[in-house]
């Protein structure tokens, strides 16, 4: 049985200020918790129901799990883990993905998963992107967050440094060079913008060129979801 203090502490980790204060985050569900166990991250504690098949956890009641869970329907197990120190940018990679103002946690988590699928080792976030340890990001990334290096920084400065290191900075835009006509650079940074307003002026100022996904047909669709667009572009640029 969990104490009142334990419940309050774990529940508080649903909020960014307490994640920052304690340096901890929450992962929920058998799949995500198993991915966490297999990662290099340090786990503080795991709380599971009797039917949870994993090992090395504190047994809790369904009522207690409901009280500490951030999910509408709690899923057998919840883990509390340490937020790792932010890594340095790995400039040796030929393709780097940077996100500018992607604030939807679900989109961010999906993009992290896509990034790992296409072989990326790290992803760069602007300071106003969704916080990577937000529970919704953790859930939608389905373990990819635990293996990727996620760097959250001032994006304009980082892109400037990338250009000085010989990277071409490619910004996704509705108007730009078709990805089918693009001569792929040897070293590139792909920048994806906000779901609402695209790339900011200070980020656009650092672009080498803009690229676009051409639309076929005449459907009245004026844009793609940022995660969908990221997947298409990574599929093209990562080969």
Q: Answer yes or no: is pLDDT of 218 > 80.
A: no
Residues 187-213, mean pLDDT to the nearest whole number: 95
Same domain, 226 and 118: yes
pLDDT at 196: 84
Q: Tokens for 175, please give them.
A: 């108007």
- Domain that includes residue 30, residue range: 4-82
Clarify whether residues 72 and 167 are in a common domain: no
Query: Residue-wise over 37-66: b if at least 16 C-beta within 10 A, else e?
Result: bebebebeebbbbeebeeeebeebeeebbe
pLDDT category at 54 given cuts 50, 70, 90 is confident
Residue 67 confidence (pLDDT) above 90 = yes
Same domain, yes or no, for 160 and 192?
Answer: yes
Prediction pTM value: 0.94
How far separated are the first and last CA of the chain, in Å rounded? 52
Residue 56 sits in the same domain as residue 155: no
pLDDT in tens, 134-171: 999 999 999 999 999 999 999 999 999 999 999 999 99
Tokens describing residue 63:
């009522």
Contacts of 40 (CB under 8 A, 6+ apart): 146
**CA-wise closest residue to 68 among 134, 4, 23, 156:** 4
């Amino acid at each position: 049985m969990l104490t009142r203090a334990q419940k309050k502490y774990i529940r508080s980790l649903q909020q960014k200020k307490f994640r920052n204060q304690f340096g901890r985050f929450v992962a929920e569900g058998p799949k995500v918790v198993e991915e966490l166990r297999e990662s290099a991250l340090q786990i503080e504690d795991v709380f599971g129901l009797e039917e949870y098949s994993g090992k090395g956890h504190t047994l809790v009641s369904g009522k207690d799990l409901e009280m500490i869970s951030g999910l509408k329907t709690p899923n057998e197990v919840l883990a509390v883990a340490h937020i790792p120190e932010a890594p340095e940018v790995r400039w040796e990679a030929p393709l780097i993905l940077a996100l500018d103002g992607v604030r939807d946690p679900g989109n961010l988590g999906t993009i992290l998963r896509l990034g790992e699928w296409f072989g990326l080792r790290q992803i760069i976030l602007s300071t106003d992107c969704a916080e990577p340890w937000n529970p919704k990001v953790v859930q939608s990334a389905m373990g990819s967050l635990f293996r990727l290096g996620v760097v959250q920084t001032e994006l304009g400065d980082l892109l400037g440094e990338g250009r000085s290191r010989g990277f071409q900075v490619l910004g996704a835009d509705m108007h730009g060079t078709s990805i089918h006509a693009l001569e792929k650079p040897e070293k590139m940074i792909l920048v994806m913008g906000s779901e609402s307003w695209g790339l900011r002026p200070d980020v656009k100022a650092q672009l080498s060129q803009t690229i676009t996904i051409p639309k076929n047909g005449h459907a009245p669709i004026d844009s793609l979801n940022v995660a969908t667009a990221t997947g298409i572009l990574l599929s093209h640029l990562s080969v």
